[in-house]
Structure 1
């Protein structure tokens, strides 16, 4: 009841209604009673885990991140007493709920997740299973050849899994089929734990790619209803990584990757068309240099990376159309000058 009332009220704990505060107090008392039980099976039961999970979710909704951290640490202790994440029940999505709370706090805070620290499975989870026969020639062959020679295999494999997931999602949407919740949760856990446990601070391109994959993953697996920008820290990291890449790159990055990176922030931020900034100028340059003249053409290139039509087209298409309008209004000459200077 508390999490429902907190959702209804919104805002911080100090702004909660008297009813929500009452529900919170009762919920916390019940939780403490369960944790104080001499019978450890009660303290570590699925019911106790669910109470902590909902309290963490409510605290996140109220932007009380210190309390979120405490609840996530509590979940970690309970899970360890139960024998680890894999020992939890899969039929009621208990594993997924615990991992979702852990990953959500990691994205909120920028810290590494607390679970699976010594159990990361780095190999591809779905990309090598031949689950779909999607093809985006000539773009995907060029992209993956470049990435195989340039980036850490663990990062490349995470991208391959996300690409496969996006192809499966697009196909499922077209055929009105559904991906089973169990497979969806397993994909989420595999990809996000790998990406959050990687870091490439000394390599602007790899770090921008890693954070870009995290950002797009948040739109696919970690959406928060009625929260405009649920992961501000991740968005800030994304902006900084792109700016650092823009200022320091000394490699010729393939068009599909640059187009995807520059479009991605518009999509993840749900940005409205605005006066040109460095990101918009960069997007304009990519479109101009690549000779892209239609959304259909851009869309095919984006799908060679990670792009789920029914999730990302809504913000991606307006961002592309705004760039085309800027180029048509005469910004093309300025973009050409800037592009020539950059590649001189």
Structure 2
């Protein structure tokens, strides 16, 4: 039995020593690939493909795709266009380098698009305020991609090795222990000489570990929800506040995970709204100041008109209800798209009801 145990331990040790470098390099590659994919999103949504930002919240005037589509760019000489491309590249390279982009390829792409800007189609897309942003649409094959393998090799062949040590200490060592355990378990089950009781104990430990991992996954995968608190609060005759989550009534709301607070002051004839919205992993915060149309002993009414639509908000502090109705202006200006969506009604509720009580983002 002792000889058999030594043989098992030797097999486990050799297998672990062989598999550990492979597992570690694979782990580093996966981490770099994940960081490159997620981290380079800013470059894609800002300069390469603004339409991928979702409602174009990331589109800015200095976006390269937007710059190339402006009439002013077409009036520049080729030398001026290339100089602008060079400046734009220099501005993004310090961050792009860390995400695995190749300097020569990325710089050449900026230069080529500056030279051949007229060959790309101009695309128009809607912004959150229902206005439009024009930008060039590049073919996916021409857009630079991060070189993950080169980044990994650079980490192992440069001074960046010091950055790998914390990863090894905090991630790789537990992974090696787990790998050692897995190889050991396999050896136990493949060794016929060991008593069945030992195999049953090992199997029980494996089931317990898998169950614990499943519980961790379930807990960590819970939806992020805003505060479950909804309230309309009044203080005297001059102040009313409402706190909760906006939910679509007649159609889907863009960002179901949101939290809003409205404060109204009668003497100022103003309501101020602060709103936080979660779009994927990005948190967006904005504020709006509304002019009060009427304020009586039951409710506050706000009527607001923008270029593309009219908004009517009613804060009923007697019935504890807040609703907002956005109606497209008829006829619609050419640069608006609100008419295609039609009337949009939202209401303020508590976060738990908005996320769990009904269909996600929509009231049944």
TM-score in terms of structure 2 length:
0.21
Which structure has the highest strand share of the two?
A: 2
TM, length-normalised to structure 1? 0.22
Q: Higher helix proportion, which one? A: 1
